[in-house]
Amino acid sequence: LPDLEIFQKSVSWALGYDEFFRTNEVDAARLQLQEGFKRAAALRDGKPYWTDARGLVVRGYISRVDGSVQPYGLVVPEAFAAQDGRNYRLDTWFHGRGEQLSELAFLNDRMRNPGEFTPRGAFVLHLYGRYCNGSRFAGETDFWEALDDVKKRYPIDNERIVVRGFSLGGAACWHMATHFASQWAAAAPGAGFSETAEFLKVFQKETLTPALWEQKLWQLYDSTAVPLNVSMVPLIAYSGADDSQIQAARAMEQALTGEGLELTHLIGPKTGHRYEPGAKAELNRRIDALATQGRDPLPAVVRFETATLRYNTMAWVTIEALGEHW
């Protein structure tokens, strides 16, 4: 049922909150309603055709956060066959910032656009993430709920899940890669931000006077606060040489140096806030090799740091108490 309700909600909210930002979104709304009615008729007849569809597929689930219907997009590989006994690689993609990224606009894009990366033979999960929050707060829960929903519906290989994203999505990827490092076959954050203070100075041109408690709480999401965790995931960062958001990778490089670690960092020459074709091809080559190899579900050594029990698990280690929080 949520696979139908995502269309009703996207159009209802756009109407109710005056969120038609482009003239073509009126036609997009009509098309989404048509797809919703088409799915409703098929579901009534017991023939939900989209559950076996290949290519671009949009689906939904009911969130445990608030009971709302939440959408996500999928790229389903053409080679997929539900009964072939195979488990498939899954790449998760975190989108960039978009001031007009309503659910209507998100679904319109996901029904037409396969996205930045479409690895051969792999599923790609496109997160909406409750608008643009870098997969923090309810956006983080949205990621796990959407991922769980995909795993229930499709045969996903838990050892071959890759997290990727760019810009605001790069920030989401930095967060997921460092706080949940052992869960991924590989991570590929592009640009974005990896911490709070320096990014706001460099990118937002903000002068900060944070209270001590604010600085403490930045550790909830700052990847630079837990650099040791990068040792638990193969991570390849990407930046354009002329992009101010190269600061994210530079900050992580400095943090990793303090732990005796080195960041693998691909840089697109003479490139701004986008992927440079040569560096993108090299990134794909490396990530594909790591995904083929898969993660080690039981590593012999676990290296792990956290300031909070919010993020208290790495591989087979769970921290149940802290003598001093934050």
Tens-digit pLDDT profile for residues 11-43: 999 999 999 999 999 999 999 999 999 999 999
Which token pair is 62? Answer: 């009911």
Identify the three-state secondary structure at position 83. Answer: coil
- Please return the burial class of 49, using the count of CB atoms within 10 Å of its CB with bins 0-12, 13-18 and 19+: exposed
- Give tens-digit pLDDT for 230-288: 999 999 999 999 999 999 999 999 999 999 999 999 999 999 999 999 999 999 999 99
In sequence order, the 6+-apart residues with CB closer than 8 A to the CB of 228 are 259, 261, 303, 304, 305
Q: How many CB atoms lie within 10 A of CB 224?
A: 24
Q: What is the CA radius of gyration of the chain?
A: 20
Compute the C-alpha angle 20/49/159, nearest 5°: 90
Closest to 168 (Cα-Cα) out of 193, 140, 187: 193
Q: Identity (one letter) of the amino acid at 208? A: L
Rounded to the nearest 5 percent, the helix, strand and coil shares of the chain are 40, 20, 40
Segments in the chain below pLDDT 50: none
Query: Is this prediction's pTM over 0.95?
Result: yes
Q: How many CA atoms lie within 13 A of 17 on its CB side?
A: 12
DSSP 285-319: HHHHHHHHH---SS-S------SSGGG-EETTEE-
Task: Return the bridge partners of 240, or none.
Answer: 268
End-to-end Cα, the chain, rounded Å: 42
Q: What is the pLDDT at residue 284?
A: 98
Mean pLDDT score of the chain: 97
CA gap 107, 71 in Å, rounded: 8
User: How long is the chain?
Assistant: 326
> What are the start-end ranges of the E strands in the chain?
55-62, 69-76, 88-94, 123-127, 156-166, 186-190, 236-240, 264-268, 313-314, 317-318
